[in-house]
Amino acid sequence: DDKILVRSNGVATYVAKDIPYAAWKLGVLNDPFNYAKYTTQSNGKVLYETTLDEAQIPKQSFAANKVITIIDNRQANLQKIVTNLMSKFNPESSYVHLGYEAVTLSSETAKLLGNKTDGREVQMSGRKGLYINADEIIEKLEKRIYLESKERNTGLDDASLNEIAHNVANGTIRYELIKPDLDKIITFDINTSLKLEGDTCSYIQYSCVRAARILEKSDKKPDFNASFDQLNTEHDLNLIKQIGMFEIFVNDAAKNYSPKVIAKYCYGLAVTFSSFYEHVKVLKAETPELVNARLCLVLSFGLTLEKALDLLGITVPQRM
């Protein structure tokens, strides 16, 4: 279908701006910018900013081999135009539109943030100027988590409680935005997202904390020169199998541009560990050899789940 790029009054449409932007990212256009070091990131890599001063660093290219543009599905038709145009200059797979459905706030959460809802969900739209400040949501979450954590952990100081609140709040928002199917509307609800049961980040983080407490209570460090053949109950084997699926899920997520696959894995692993915790003895197992083997299994679970959560940018607090 034909698409207007520049209106009769000379104003460029969004797609007219998106086309050169995509071409710039892929290196199809000569880069008009100069760059200067802005800061060094935690991973050691330099983050650059554009500058008018040509003398700061030599001219360089930041062109990408693959560009993944994350814009909601309402822009799908426009993104098809951009994708088709970019395929004329690069392989078809070099420019990818990763679409998602609209992000909304539940009526209760919107009301908590000071919005009139008439009992309906609130849908955000940057172009219409309808949005909720992310810092405001994080602040509300952190305050609530702080108070709940203080009730459960009366001996913790403010620094520890603030760390818990920060990690759980940030993890909650990330998880709630990542876990839904991309073709379904994402509805964020504070009350649901903070439950310590069900498919929530809090539940998953808590299972990690629970595993760490088991290891803390043991007076022995797990020795991986263990009698693993004794891990033969249904719950032992289920947990071993789930841990072993980690790389399969990661590869699937990368291949299909779908981080929700890792979120699904995290929840499944946490559920499997919960069943293991309820049905088998670890510290009071029948023999010292079995105690050690199960401690190794608990440690492996914790390390695997923390690694999976880290891929989603989620940190596990020391306490909850």
Write out the H or E segment, with its range, that includes residue 25: helix 14-26
pLDDT value of residue 74:
84
Rounded alpha-carbon distances, angstroms, from residue 184 to 79, 93, 189: 19, 24, 15
Give rounded-to-5 percent helix, strand, coil for the chain.
Answer: 50, 10, 40
Please give the share of the chain, as a percent, with pLDDT higher than 70.
94
pLDDT of residue 1: 54
Q: What are the backbone angles phi and psi of residue 96, rounded to the nearest 5°?
A: -125, 130
Domain with CATH 1.10.730.10 in the chain: 133-311
pLDDT tens sequence across 258-313: 999 999 999 999 999 999 999 999 999 999 999 999 999 999 999 999 999 999 99
CATH code of 133-311, in short, is 1.10.730.10
Q: Which residues, in sequence order, are CB contacts of 12 under 8 Å at separation 6+? A: 5, 6
pLDDT digits (tens, 9 = 90+) for 152-197: 888 899 999 999 999 999 999 999 989 998 888 888 888 887 787 8
In the predicted model, what is the mean pLDDT of residues 48-76?
Answer: 82
According to the model, what pLDDT value does residue 130 have?
59
Residue 280 near residue 294 (C-beta atoms within 8 A): yes
Residue 135 pLDDT:
85
pTM recorded for the entire structure: 0.82
